[in-house]
Amino acid sequence: MKSNNSNLREIRANPSTSTCTAAGIKKKKPPNGFSFYYKMYKNDLMKEFPSYKPCMILKKASERWEIAPPVLKNGFLKYADEENKLRNYDPPHAPQPPPNLTKVLNLREEEDEKFHEFIKPDSYL
């Protein structure tokens, strides 16, 4: 039976536009201050400009971001920075107890024989 693989085509990401890792998984960019600003004000802009397409709403948000006071921008930028720190947080490894508290008995055969000589389990029967 002949396999019909000629109808299948390979799909590859365009290397100039994708940010692939070694595992082949696309890594997303972290959200920036403007993205949080846009999420917060998008619905208000859609109400204000109901006939605008989403790309025009984004453009209008960008125009307003440019003229926004620095205090407002800094708040969103700081929030984005904190959000990214939380997303990328790598907790330190659990502290290890001191070595003298973690001794593990490693009985070898000769030590095991000495143990049985001393305890003499047959004498308890």
Q: Could you count the other beta carbons within 10 Å of the beta carbon of residue 38?
A: 19
| pLDDT tens digit sequence for 11-45 | 555 544 445 555 667 777 888 999 999 999 999 99
75: exposed, middle or buried (Cβ count in 10 Å: 0-12, 13-18, 19+): middle
Rounded average pLDDT over 85-102:
70
Q: How do the domains of the chain map onto residue ranges?
A: 29-87
Q: What is the pLDDT of residue 43?
A: 92
Lowest mean pLDDT among 21-25, 54-58, 97-101, 102-106: 102-106
Rounded average pLDDT over 45-65:
93
In sequence order, what are the residues at sequence separation of 6 or more whose Cβ sits closer than 8 angstroms to the Cβ of residue 61? 34, 37, 38, 41, 42, 45
Overall fold of domain 29-87: DNA Binding (I), subunit A (1.10.30)
Highest mean pLDDT: which range of 25-39, 41-55, 94-108: 41-55
> Of 15, 29, 13, which Cα lies nearest the Cα of 80?
29
Do 80 and 36 contact (CB within 8 A), yes or no?
yes
Q: What angle do CA 66, 72, 76 make, to 5 degrees?
A: 95
Q: Could you count the other beta carbons within 10 Å of the beta carbon of residue 24?
A: 8
In sequence order, what are the residues at sequence separation of 6 or more whose Cβ sits closer than 8 angstroms to the Cβ of residue 19? 26, 27, 29
Q: Which residue has the higher pLDDT, 68 or 97?
A: 68
